[in-house]
A and B are shown apart, each in its own frame.
Chain A
Amino acid sequence: MKWLGEFVDPGVGIKDFVAGMTMSGSKVEGYEVEGGELQNIVMGKVLSVEKHPNADTLFICKIDAGGAEPLQIVTGADNVVPGAMVPVARDNSVVHGGKKIKKGKLRGELSEGMLCSLEELGLTLGDFPYAMEDGIFLVEEDCQIGQPVQEAIGLNDTMVEFEITSNRPDCLSVIGLAREAACTWGKTITVAKPRVKGGAGDVNDLLKVRVENPQLCLRYSAAAVKNVRIGPSPRWLRERLRASGVRPINNIVDITNYVMLEYGQPMHAFDLKHVSGAQIVVRSARDGETITTLDGVERTLSPEMLVIADEAAPSAVAGVMGGEFSGIYDDTQVVIFESACFDGPSVRMTAKKLGMRTESSGRFEKGLDPENCMPALLRACELVELLGAGDVCDGVIDVRNPPAEPRRITVTPEWVNGFLGSDIPWERMVSILESLEFQVEGNVVIPPSFRGDVELKADVAEEIARIYGYNNIPSTPMRGKAEGIISPQQKFEREIAALLTAQGCYEIVTYSFISPKGYDRIGLPADSSLRKSVVISNPLGEDTSVMRTTAIPSMLDVLARNYNNRAPEAALYEIATRYVPTEDGKLPDEIKQVMIGLYGGDNDFYTLKGIVEALLAKAGVAGEYRRVEDNPTFHPGRCAMVTVGDTVLGILGEVHPQVCENYDIGAKAYLAELNLAELFAARTVELKVRDLPRFPASTRDLALVADEETPVGEMQKAIADVAGSILEKLELFDVYRGKQVGEGKKSVAYSLTLRANDRTLTDEECDRTVQKILKKLGEIGVELRG
């Protein structure tokens, strides 16, 4: 905030500042008062140091911390000397990390607090290079006895963290944010023009620059510093870097980072002696050319990448990272500052291809302003002189494309207000735009060069709206008429969900991607076509690496999880999509399935079938059930497919014991998977009500004996075929196996309800029908039980 304060004074407290910036478009993620957690730590002067009588490694110090009496403090550090200024954590104080300090006795001697090291203040050697890492911090700054430590060592700034959107690289800088702040509170921003004295000879005598690829290098500017004096930066500069999360290194490197933070322009500094031939060439990389970057990794380049090279070899990947010899070390004599502007998409692709996103590439890829290169370069030179870090050469090297024509956008107040639904006077619009450094000529708006994101009048409308305040635009209720349509499929899906819920099933929602191991677990053979899945090329892990071709593994996972959680029984369903690959390069078919899963309690095959029947009844579909013996996921004797006409709707059955074992499900489990689209297609569209019966019904009970292998379905079909329209209801009420019916036989008892809708059936008619039924049943070996 101190840094920002150099350019603008918003005139508000931190809370209002944070809220205001957020609402004008620079979202604040959080803020923190530096040293805010330190409490009751003051500067004290060491009066005396004596050995602790009872401990060899401890010392007793008398400290004047501004109180009436000197404090007695025991310390283990051996670097404390009389006369030194030290940070004193007094009784009831808090040091870094929230640790509380209270007075107490150490080996029998009173200690009224603690002397602090760098670490206890939350600092490192980078902040105060003269301090000792594992001793007490002997402060060499100007400070007074009793002064709070934050004040004494400049640890009292406020740090605000912003979330800057990718269209605003200009706001990745102190000046950019100061500009936003100025506009938000109607203040003026003052950015002093950097002043450089120079005098160390002409830069052009030291270095030549050639740009071979001006499409990708929009501007390359450079300056030189002779007689470089490498050393630590002054405290104020280090403090600002530290507050920005940048580690101070040495004055030259610190200057490049400082300018980047202040101006938003990535800077690069390199040693002239590593530029062979004193000639910089900005060119496309040659195919297969390699460079070892600053991080020590050798990287292979390709022709679409841009490099900074000398006569011999590339020395940096443009806008991404310097080469290994581009560092600044203690023996550096002449430093070249590079302030360039590279094409955003190119830097982005290069960084991505090389797998190294850097602070610099992250900025360039968003598209930087070529006009910002020069002020930033001059600022760096100014800082060199200010810090006495070297002698700046006269002049600059500046190779660039002609400046882009400023965009001219025609905007009328009527259009803006019509678009926003607002009523903002034109004068207000103009003042907002001008405070954002846009030029307004009549109805033509010219955005500043650093606002590459503003291209169309909608962009201009956004600028006006965000400063005017989104929340000041009146909200209008829904206008115009439209009919919200629920499609028949959507309605059907909802009905299916309601029905399954009414059947006592819990709905689940599972991931669409599964582990390919799921196919093994459900027993799919190696050549099963279901194993051909849509594969994710960059999955998070194997467990979520393929798009499922069946929802069965997902359901079994959930059943298993609940079984493992000791749920005694489960009835679950999901309307789940499966993804079936088609041709290469084409999208897969996405097929919705109704998936039902049960285990435990009274659930058995027929419970599951009852639910499926209810589902089909809801759709008005008369399904047929046929035995399936060869589906490896299911029990070979307890599995059926459901069909309607020639269409297979799906499959249901008891899960194969081996599959249950694979999932550690210790109960019998049941699964049904039905194709929702086929069910939808087969449904009865219109429901027509039957008249209530006007004539009485007759009932006949039949006890039949059949071979064990004769399916009940076949018997029922025979009965229904013969009886025709007068069969109102056919109810199976008992199945019996035992000695009385003989080995390999079963007795099946039916109750038939017969009724005609136009007359009362006579007993004779009913008996005749029964006789015909028995005759037909006889043909398939079913007899009346004697």
Chain B
Amino acid sequence: MKNALEQIRREAGELLSAAADAKTVEELRIRYLGKKGELTGILKQMGSLSAEERPVMGQLANQVREAIETMLTEKTDALRASALAEKLQSERLDVTMPGKVRPVGSRHPLNVVLEEAKEIFYGMGFTAVEGPEVEYDHYCFEALNMPKTHPARDTQDTFYITDDIVLRTQTSSVQVRTMEKQKPPIRIISPGRVYRSDQVDATHSPLFHQIEGLVVDKGVTMGDLKGILETFAKRLFGEDAKVRFRPHHFPYTEPSAEMDTMCYECHGEGCRLCKGEGYIELLGCGMVHPKVLSDLGIDPEVYSGYAFGIGLERIAMRRFGIGDMRLFYENDMRFLGQFL
């Protein structure tokens, strides 16, 4: 009997190691360990053994069973591993093939920059306010120290609807509306469309976008104005952005200034882009004119403020290296698709 058990173990080992698939392994399991299997057959003969032999043979039989079971498991695992390896091998892809594209949309570059600019100003405590584009002359000009006879009106060629209603030439009109309703402290930006009767070319458009800012509070200084605009330029164009402030004239600010950024082509050396100046004009700004404040019932002896107006197209052109303003309004998908 002992020999029979040894032989079963040997035989099973040989057959299993030769087995090539799961089905053969299962057949061998049934053949040796099944209810009618060979090992079971031998165990049925246990009753004919003597009381001394029985535990010895029982132990041996169990050892053989365990050995076979282990071999079965190992074989099964090995087969599964090789089957998996084979499957993985057969599923190899050319990973350099192009991906499957899901449609992706894009924001318009002007709004990409607008959102960025808004985020910067939100971070500095500004609230965005909107107002009408078709506007009373009063809010667009008169309340900004520009009566009808003012020569500065010629610098903003205006579209008229009637004598008293215009397409706003600047979003400063929103500042006036805000100051009319709200007492200081005021800290707002007013983004939106503005209109001037300029013929379309690479740097002009009869419609463009502005972000104007207004801060009115006690003790606001020109140094504050400079500080905030320098921060804005750095956040938008990078920490190494260099700016300068140059005297200018706007009827609604005093002192007035224009802020230039260092030319990104020549870095201040002077080139064709900046017409040899080394700097490119970016925005206009200044301390709110005392007449504007007092006309709106804000005492200029108590409060002071600053305002600035940023041309969105100009900073978007600077940001993305866009050479022609017309691209913004043509909406060619080959252009838009670059802002994914």
Contacts and interface: CB of A to CB of B under 8 A. Distances in A.
B77 to A, nearest CB: 36
Contacts of A544: 206
B134 A504 contact: no
A494 interface: yes
Contact of A503 (B105, B107, B164, B276): B105
A490 B129 CA distance: 9
A23 B246 CA distance: 5
Given A507-B336, A509-B328, A538-B160, A167 B222 contact: no
A776 interface: no
B255 interface: yes
B331 A486 contact: no
B111 A509 contact: yes
B227 A476 contact: yes
Contact of B244 (A420, A471, A539, A585): A471
Given A419-B287, A484-B122, A476 B224 contact: yes
B125 A421 contact: no
A577 interface: yes
B103 A484 contact: no
A585 B164 contact: yes
Nearest to A467: B247
Nearest to A357: B154
Contact of A462 (B159, B246, B254, B336): B254
B314 interface: no
Contacts of A562: 331-333
A558 interface: yes
Contacts of B289: 458
A502 B102 CA distance: 10
Given A27-B248, A470-B247, A485-B127, A166 B152 contact: yes
Interface string A508-541: 1111110000000000000000000011111110
Contacts of B219: 418
B161 A465 contact: no
Contact of A484 (B111, B127, B254, B333): B127
A166 B249 contact: yes
A512 to B, nearest CB: 6
B125 A509 contact: no
Nearest to B154: A166
A536 to B, nearest CB: 5
A156 to B, nearest CB: 21
Contacts of B162: 537, 585
Nearest to A453: B249
Contacts of A561: 330-332
Contacts of A534: 134, 161
A348 interface: yes
Interface in A10-60: 22-25, 27, 30
Given A458-B290, A547-B134, A506 B333 contact: yes
A172 B98 CA distance: 65
Contacts of B251: 167
Nearest to A472: B245
Interface string A458-474: 11011001100011011
Nearest to B255: A462
Interface residues of A, number: 86
Interface stretch (A95-103, A212-220, A566-574): A566-574
Interface string B187-211: 1000001010101000000110000
Interface in A483-509: 483-487, 490, 494, 497, 500-509
A762 interface: no
A681 interface: no
A565 B332 contact: yes
Given A476-B221, A481-B125, A513 B207 contact: yes
A23 B125 CA distance: 31
A683 interface: no
A579 B207 CA distance: 15
Contacts of A504: 102-105
A479 interface: yes
Given A420-B222, A478-B228, A540 B249 contact: no
B247 A25 contact: yes
A509 B331 contact: yes
A567 B337 CA distance: 12
A345 interface: yes
Contacts of B206: 511, 513, 540, 544
B248 A165 contact: yes
Interface in B145-193: 147, 149, 151-152, 154-155, 159-162, 164-165, 167, 185, 187, 193
Interface string B103-125: 11111101100010000011111
Q: How large, as a class, is the contact surface on chain B?
A: 35 or more
B256 interface: yes
B298 interface: no
A571 B331 CA distance: 12
A746 interface: no
B256 A462 contact: yes
Interface string B217-235: 1010111101110110000
Given A473-B223, A512-B193, A506 B336 contact: yes
B105 A590 contact: no
B261 interface: no
B32 interface: no
Contacts of A474: 223
Given A27-B248, A470-B247, A565-B334, A344 B111 contact: no
Contacts of B126: 482, 484
B142 interface: no
Contact of A482 (B103, B125, B154): B125
A407 interface: no
B115 A494 contact: yes
Interface in A393-437: 418-422
Interface in A289-305: none
B136 interface: yes
Contacts of A503: 103, 105
B334 A473 contact: no
A354 interface: no
B38 interface: no
A352 to B, nearest CB: 9
Contacts of B123: 484
B151 A478 contact: no
Contact of A497 (B111, B164, B255): B111
A559 to B, nearest CB: 9
A456 B290 contact: yes
Contacts of A471: 244-245
A165 B249 contact: yes
Contacts of A587: 132, 134-136, 165
Contact of B128 (A348, A487, A585): A487
Nearest to B275: A30
A371 to B, nearest CB: 21
Given A466-B255, A587-B165, 5 more contacts: A471-B245, A476-B227, A487-B127, A506-B106, A537-B161
Counting from the closest, the 8 A-B pairs by CB-CB distance are: A421-B223, A504-B103, A421-B221, A482-B125, A345-B149, A462-B255, A165-B249, A25-B247
28 contacts: A166-B154, A345-B147, A365-B151, A366-B151, A418-B219, A461-B255, A470-B246, A478-B227, A482-B127, A484-B125, A484-B187, A501-B104, A506-B105, A506-B108, A506-B336, A508-B108, A511-B206, A511-B207, A537-B159, A537-B162, A538-B159, A547-B167, A561-B330, A562-B332, A562-B333, A570-B333, A572-B331, A572-B333
